[in-house]
Amino acid sequence: MADLSKYRNIGIFAHVDAGKTTTTERILKLTGKIHKIGEVHDGAATTDFMEQEQERGITIQSAATTCFWNDHQLNIIDTPGHVDFTIEVYRSLKVLDGGVGVFCGSGGVEPQSETNWRYANESAVARLILVNKLDRVGADFYRVVEQIKDVLAAKPMVMTLPIGIEDTFTGVIDLLTREAWIWDESGDPTSFRIEAPPADMVEKVEHYRNELIEIAVEQDDEAMEKYLEGEEPDVETLKRLIRKGTIGLSFYPTFCGSAFKNKGVQLVLNAVVDYLPDPTEVPPQPEVDIDGNETGELAVVDPDRPLRALAFKIMDDQYGALTFTRIYSGRLQKGTMILNTFTGKTERVGRIVEMHADDRKELEEAQAGDIVALLGLKNVQTGHTLCDEKNPATLEPMVFPDPVISMAVRPTEVGQADKLGGALAKMMKEDPSFRVETDQDSGETVLKGMGELHLDIKVDILKRTYGVDTAVGAPQVAYRETITKRIEDSYTHKKQSGGSGQYAKIDYILEPLEPGSGFEFEATVVGGNVPKEFIPAVQKGFKKSLEKGVLAGFPCLDFKVTLVDGGHHSVDSSAVAFEMAAKAAYRQSIPKASPRLLEPIMKLDVFTPEDNVGDVIGDLNRRRGMIHAQERAPTGNRIKAEAPLGEMFGYIGDLRTMTSGRGQFSMEFSHYTAAPNGIADEVIRKIEEEKAAKAK
């Protein structure tokens, strides 16, 4: 049995362009996994193996790899930084025990770093921080440390200090040992020497070292007492205390370096081993029953307990579907049968492989604490629990946001419709935030996703990976509908056509709810006028109708139906009759309740150089944006705002034009709000025109 204390399951996450993938490359080089370093800007990084990644220089899929450092096994996941792929970060954090947050030395805490940090807080993942790119113009380690405190409200524990900055950055000082690590200019990460810190930095070293000790001794009363009496803890004790505080999320050990120049990465690797938790030191996952209620049982990390594993990512390659799985407890052997609690079906594990980006190593068995890829599973999707047939249990499922943007696609060549359908089914399995639907009226295939870039990449994958050329319609916003007025109404459903008829009468109240409440149903019928057994049919009828609103056919939400009275017939009433009555009542009453169109509002975080702030704010106002805050950053300004998604198409192009290519932004869904009348009328008119054109 493998020693679990020697395992580290870690993720590397950060904003676009902070240097995550480059850091991963350096780790692989240092740990002997690769011999030649590939660069992101050349499109040759190991973990960016998709063509789209290599071209765009960004990471889209999280890639998994395994390597060894100081006799410890590191399972590393390199996650995407771009906002449209945050789902990848979210699901990776779900299965990791620790993480390394990489921040750019000049850009500091950027928009996406904040979102990722928030996700990591929600998943309670212990983290180290690497302030990277200190060789860049405008880099400032101490400024970024302050930003981490102010913007993320986190407590960084400074572990290393940079020697020199920008062009003169030569190495780092380890505060624990007071040693300076200085690299030569050969670019070889292993060509360094260790010496005493430069004389002009001795004071700074002592200041930050005292700060580090003061934060560390808070973890232990005995060490604290001794320290107050003037006894300084030794390095081993300090390491133990830092480990305890890091795992308890009291602070985040912070390192500095330049991954691209191969400086400072060893110390981060040492810290991963020294301070991040092994699988047994993380709170165990709660087990839930079929309805999602906690059973009180926990999936304790122990190979001898029943099998509990979570599929957190599906990836398709030339050998078939790879299911990336984190094993929480138990063992998993090649060829065994396992139960998928979501589908209720058993599946056979064909092969177990350890991944290294897109290479693999076959394993006979895996055990609690491992992250492996399984081959041969048919019906497993992201978030499904795999467990022991004889002793089943489900782990807490993942929750994915609803898409906010859609676009119609059709194959350009005749006869490729089946090929398109097969490709999209595979892509949905891989990415839970991506949905595909068929439009009932037009028969068009509609793709739904989290943003323009998200859908753009999906169309690109269709073409390159699956060889399907598609014609793409204009992106559509996912509007919603609601009601704004309370009404009381009644409907009687009667049908007489030979034999038994249909009869159902319902009296009901429709009333608007708070935004974000969804749909509620209540029955207050007394005296049996609507028999109990028919009430669920009324609820079902209304619920089915919600999918299509009366204004423009968008789903209707945020209202309540109360069934107050009704009538039935002893022979002609049935569940079907009451369901029909509810559907007709919906069509009759919603138009009377002053329906409104709702539009999705996005949360924006825009970065712009100082000179262009006025233009950017003016442009956001034209897009009906609400400016909430403006923060000055050393290299420009950050504007926090909200704006309707419908106004944000093509924004990246406009922003780059205004800022001469220096502007950046990220956006995520915030909430729905009533669309202005002019906008609503325009949307409804367009939809009616489309319908009329299709009907011809």
At 83-142, the pLDDT tens digits run 445 565 666 677 788 888 888 887 777 766 776 787 788 778 899 998 888 887 778 889
Among the residues of 623-676, which ranges form H helices? 651-658
Which pLDDT belongs to residue 25? Answer: 66
Residue 398 has pLDDT above 80, yes or no: no
Mean pLDDT, the chain, whole residue set: 80
Q: Check pLDDT > 50 for residue 47.
A: no
**Residue 16 predicted with pLDDT over 70:** no
In this predicted model, what pLDDT tens digit does every residue of 444-492 receive, in sequence order?
Answer: 788 888 777 778 778 877 887 778 888 888 777 888 999 999 999 999 9
Give the burial class of 560: count Cβ atoms within 10 A of its Cβ; 0-12 exposed, 13-18 middle, 19 or more buried. Answer: middle
Terminal C-alpha separation, the chain:
69
pLDDT at 23 over 70: no
Taking only the tens place, the pLDDT of each residue in 399-451 is 666 777 788 888 888 778 788 888 888 778 777 778 888 876 566 788 888 77
pTM score, two decimals? 0.66
Q: How confident is the model at residue 24 (pLDDT cuts 50, 70, 90)?
A: low
Using pLDDT thresholds of 50, 70 and 90, give the confidence band for residue 356: low
8 A C-beta contact, residue 538 and residue 579: yes
Strand pairing of 351-356 and 371-375? antiparallel
d(CA 335, CA 632): 58
Per-position DSSP letters for 483-536, written without gaps between them: E-S-EEEEEEEEE--SSS-EEEEEEEEEEE--TT--EEEEE---TTSS-GGGHH
50-72 pLDDT, tens digit each:
343 333 333 334 356 777 788 88
d(CA 113, CA 19): 12
Burial of 684 per CB tally in 10 Å (0-12, 13-18, 19+) = middle
Task: Annotate 28-40 with three-state secondary structure.
Answer: HHHCCCCCCCCCH
Look at the block and give the residue holding tokens 């579907």.
321
Distance CA 106, CA 92 (A): 27
Whose tokens are 């001898």? That residue is 304
As a whole number of angstroms, the distance between CA 307 and CA 329 comes to: 5
